[in-house]
Amino acid sequence: MKMRLSIVALLGMGAALPLLPADASAVQPPKEFFEAATTERFTFAPGGAIRIVNSYGYLTVEGWDEPEVEITVTKTAGRLYDPGEKAEAERRFAQVNVTTQRSSARELLITTVLPARNPLFASVLPLDRILFTKPLVPNRRRGVTLDYKVLAPRDARLVVRHDTGYVWISDIAGELDVSSHTGDMIVLLPDPGPYAIDARTRLGSVSSDFPGAGRYRFAAGTHYANGRPTPSRQVHLRTGCGSITIKKGPPFSPLWKN
């Protein structure tokens, strides 16, 4: 009986001791953050048009004095990876591509190309009867976030079709046609204009440093416009869900994100 009590006491003491790894080298190394950046540069004729299509993430377009366009794209992994998974992160980066196409010295197209959507998923019963079909949750971006920084001549005309994310445009005096599905938009225009501004949100606010002739409040969105006689630089801004901020900056000088 005494021997049984001693064994029970020893087992109880053992249960109270902390469990230590058999080998210190078995401790997992910390996860890592992966990103990759590329830069392209093109000569560009004055007053040319730049189209940015299917972008997402963070988009910055800034004017400068060079007769060139410089595009820097940074791809960032959406999660932390184990050190041995670098190849997997690079594989995902390779599936999301930003391409450039020049149809002339005055036209440049910047397009984001995503992988094809996942195929349909079908649940099949015996006798080959289909119970239901539904698309799998699309993961076309492969967990990759994009950050675009475009430097362009100040007199360039800019057309943007952005999907989701933040848009910042500064020191571009050419005509602007910018739309975003979801996300905030900040546009800094060199003063003086004149500018014919038409900005609208479906869900969100519009604020402007420039005087406007009319503000019309809808159920959840805002429409701002300032009727200007021609000739005026056209500024056409749209976002579905988010705010639009139009700021007045000094004429042709660097504008910084404060």
User: Could you report the per-residue pLDDT of 27-44, keeping only the tens digit for each?
Assistant: 677 877 788 899 999 999
- List the structure tokens of 79: 């999660």
pTM: 0.76
The separation between the first and the last C-alpha atoms of the chain, rounded to the nearest angstrom, is: 79
Give the whole-number percent of the chain exceeding pLDDT 90: 45
Judge whether 147 and 73 are in contact, CB under 8 Å: yes
For the cut 90, the answer to whether the pLDDT of residue 105 exceeds it is no
The mean predicted confidence, pLDDT, of the chain is: 79
User: Could you report the per-residue pLDDT of 200-238, keeping only the tens digit for each?
Assistant: 999 999 999 887 754 555 556 788 887 666 667 899 999
> In angstroms, rounded to a whole number, what is the distance separating the alpha carbons of residues 219 and 197?
22
Weakest mean pLDDT among 27-36, 72-81, 133-142, 212-221:
133-142
The pLDDT score that the predictor gives to residue 48 is 95
> In angstroms, rounded to a whole number, what is the distance separating the alpha carbons of residues 195 and 213?
13
Q: What are phi and psi of 172, to 5 degrees?
A: -105, 115
> In angstroms, rounded to a whole number, what is the distance separating the alpha carbons of residues 108 and 44?
8
Judge whether 144 and 56 are in contact, CB under 8 Å: no
